[in-house]
A = this chain, B = another copy of it.
Amino acid sequence: MKIVIDAMGGDNAPSVTVEGAIEAVKSYDVNIILTGNQPMIENELAKYDYPREKIEIIHCSEQITNEDKPVISIRKKKDSSMVVGLKLVKENKADAIISAGNTGALLAGGLLLLGRIKGIDRPALAPVYPTTKGISVLIDGGANADCKPRNFLEFGVMGSIYAEKVIGIKKPKVCTVNIGIEEEKGSDVVKAAHNLCKDASFNFKGNVEARDIPSGYADVILCDGFTGNVILKLTEGLASSIFGLLKEEFVKNTFRKIGALLLKSGLRDFKKRFDYTEYGGAPFLGVNGVLIKAHGSSDGKAIKNAVRQAIKFVDNNIIEDITTEITSLGVDTLE
Contacts and interface: CB of A to CB of B under 8 A. Distances in A.
Contacts of A270: 245-246, 249
Interface string A18-43: 00000000000000000000000000
Contacts of A242: 214, 239, 242
The contact size tier of chain A is 35 or more
Contacts of A142: 179
Interface in A213-266: 213-215, 224-227, 229-242, 244-246, 249-250, 252, 255-256, 258-263, 265-266
Contacts of A112: none
A-side interface mostly: helix
Q: State the oligomeric state as a number of copies.
A: 2
A210 interface: yes
Contact of A250 (B146, B226, B236, B266): B266
A142 B209 CA distance: 12
Given A132-B244, A245-B270, A237 B263 contact: no
Contacts of A240: 214
Nearest to A232: B210
Given A146-B188, A263-B263, 12 more contacts: A132-B245, A145-B185, A212-B237, A213-B234, A215-B241, A231-B234, A238-B239, A246-B270, A249-B263, A256-B263, A259-B262, A262-B262
